[in-house]
Amino acid sequence: MCRLLENSNPLSVSIARQPVFDDTRRLWGYELFCLGFPQESSVAISVQSSAYVCLQQMTVRGKRIIIDFTEKSILQNLPYALPPVLAVVKISEQLLHRPSIMALLTDLRADGYLIAVGDFTGNPEYDSLYKLAHILNVDVSQKNKEMLAPSLESARKYHASLMATRVQNGGQFKLCQDLGFSFFHGPFFKSPDQITVRKLSSNEVLRLNLLKVMKSEEPSFARLAESIQADPTISVRLLAYLNSAAFAIPQKIKSIQQAIVLLGWRNVRNWLRVVVLTDISQGKDAQELVLLSAQRGYFLELVARDHDFWGFEPESVHLLGLFSLLDALMGVPMADVVANLPLDNKMKAALCREQNNEYLPLLELAQDMEEARWEDADRLMQQLNLNGGKVKTAFQTSVNWSSELESLRS
């Protein structure tokens, strides 16, 4: 949880993250934001006390963290609560209208912090800020090469790296890569980089069949143990996981069935799903896609539990969210993937993004929340007659839950 700063009575909310990739499509860092709706989305994040523990979890791998700071938080020297080796202080151009801001930013840069300018316009009025910045953010959404040319010509006058923001798909990523952008942010990684004629391998089909075994709420532990034991690599990882110090089990776990009983069906199922998705993934950004898939599945499950009048089974919509990024993970058309999934035809159609499908709005809601499109999310919740507070709480819970899953994949 993190605390909002611009209120005399700090409000506890969750930190969510959106990945930022370099020009080789490797994870470079995260942009952090507080979960909320339009009135909260620009509030600076407190990185003190309990929130700092959350940030430590996110930066354990030494990735950069980008936080959008307001004028008030800059004046209060809040960026200094972050380690300079990891922090990127992002500000809007308009902050330069306050004379003292430039001096504070200069000090931050001298102390080792990276400075990023959001939504670069090239306005000569902000020339001194551009010269100070390490990164200039350029919004590339809905823009082609010709439309980006003026911004790029202006930005290249400065000794700063360029970050393409709101990159929508693989084609736009490739365009910006060719134009010389260094960093990339947006939903492009959620779509297949390039749909090919690649077919599912026999090993991938076996892994997807294992997901079918996990669909039951009360499975036969003997049958489940048999399915897991058919894959030696998963068997070894499950036993190593349970025998780790984290569980402090006094005796060694010697059988898969014993492991399932001790861990509990729900925990085994969640662990297995993440492991299976990790194993069948193909791309460089698979790690983020796996976590996002797990988060999306749990979010939809919670929404269904809180709104039972919809008539959706929580476990079914969990699978819907969990499987919704399989085409991007595997580099295989979704139509080929769904043939091997334990879902009914309506949910398969939703995964293939067929219109006029009753499940599709749930996937759209999840994506709006993930990308901090609060106004779109709010509008969709009203259309679906969903309780906004419950949806927001469900998303906060799913973000925290997916963060905990990171330690379960090794």
User: Which of 212, 275, 192, 200 minimizes the C-alpha distance to 238?
Assistant: 275
Q: Which helix (H) or strand (E) holds 89?
A: strand 87-92
What percentage of the chain has pLDDT greater than the value 70?
75
Q: Residue 212 has what pLDDT?
A: 65
Contacts of 246 (CB under 8 A, 6+ apart): 407
Cα gap 272→250, rounded to integer Å: 23
Digit-coded pLDDT (tens) for 234-256: 777 777 766 665 566 666 766 77
Average pLDDT over residues 102-127: 93
Residue with tokens 């299976």: 276
Flag whether pLDDT at 172 surpasses 80.
yes
Yes or no: say if 31 and 42 are a contact pair by the CB < 8 Å rule: no
pLDDT of 291 above 50: yes
Residue 131 reports pLDDT greater than 90: yes
CB 152 within 8 A of CB 138: yes
332: left (phi over 0), alpha (psi -120 to 50) or beta: beta
Nearest to 35 by CA among 403, 384, 319: 403
Look at strands 27-34 and 64-68 and give their pairing. Answer: parallel
Return the biggest CA–CA distance within the chain: 70
Stated length of the chain: 410
Q: What is the pLDDT of residues 68-96, one digit of tens each?
A: 888 888 888 888 888 888 889 999 998 87
Q: Name the pLDDT band for 127 (thresholds 50, 70, 90).
A: very high
pLDDT band of residue 16 (cuts 50, 70, 90) is confident
**Helical segments of 307-373, H only:** 314-323, 326-330, 334-338, 345-351, 360-370
Quick one: average pLDDT of 180-200?
75
Band (pLDDT 50/70/90 cuts) for residue 318 is confident
pLDDT at residue 155 in the model: 92
Averaged over 162-172, what is the pLDDT?
A: 92
* In the predicted structure, residue 53 carries a pLDDT above the cut 60: no
- pLDDT tens per residue across span 200-236: 665 666 667 666 666 666 667 777 777 777 666 677 7
DSSP symbols for 135-182: EEEEE-TT--HHHHHHHHHHHTTSS-EEEEES--SHHHHHHHHHTT--
* Amino acid 48: pLDDT: 44
Task: Tell me the C-alpha distance between 74 and 279, whole Å.
Answer: 43
What's the pLDDT score for residue 43? 36
pLDDT given for residue 231 in this prediction:
67
Residue 354 CA: distances (Å) to CA of 143, 340, 346, 349, 363: 26, 18, 9, 5, 12
* Closest among 172, 165, 171, 169 to 138, alpha carbons compared: 165
| CA dihedral of 185, 191, 196, 202, whole degrees rounded to 10 | 120
pLDDT-wise least confident of 10-14, 168-172, 247-251, 393-397: 10-14
Q: State mean pLDDT over 304-320.
A: 83
11 falls in which pLDDT band (50, 70, 90)? very low
Calculate ∠ Cα 45-50-54, nearest 5°: 70
pLDDT given for residue 51 in this prediction = 47
In order of 41, 351, 373, 382, the CA distances from 376 in angstroms are 13, 20, 6, 10
For the stretch 351-393, pLDDT in tens is 999 988 989 999 999 999 988 888 899 999 998 899 988 998 8
The pLDDT score that the predictor gives to residue 198 is 54
- Quick check: 305 pLDDT over 70? yes
The H or E element that residue 47 is part of is: none
Q: Are 90 and 118 in contact (CB under 8 A)?
A: yes
Identity of the amino acid at 1: M
Average pLDDT, the chain: 79
Query: By the 8 A CB rule, do 367 and 324 touch?
Result: no
Supply the pLDDT for residue 218: 66
Q: Residue 191's closest CA among 348, 328, 320?
A: 328
Question: 41 vs 388, which has greater pLDDT?
Answer: 388
The mean pLDDT of 111-121, rounded to a whole number, is: 94
Q: Does 270 or 357 have the greater pLDDT score? A: 357
Distance CA 366, CA 308 (A): 18
CA Rg value for the chain = 23
Return the pLDDT at 41.
38
Q: Among residues of the chain, what percentage have pLDDT more than 90?
A: 26
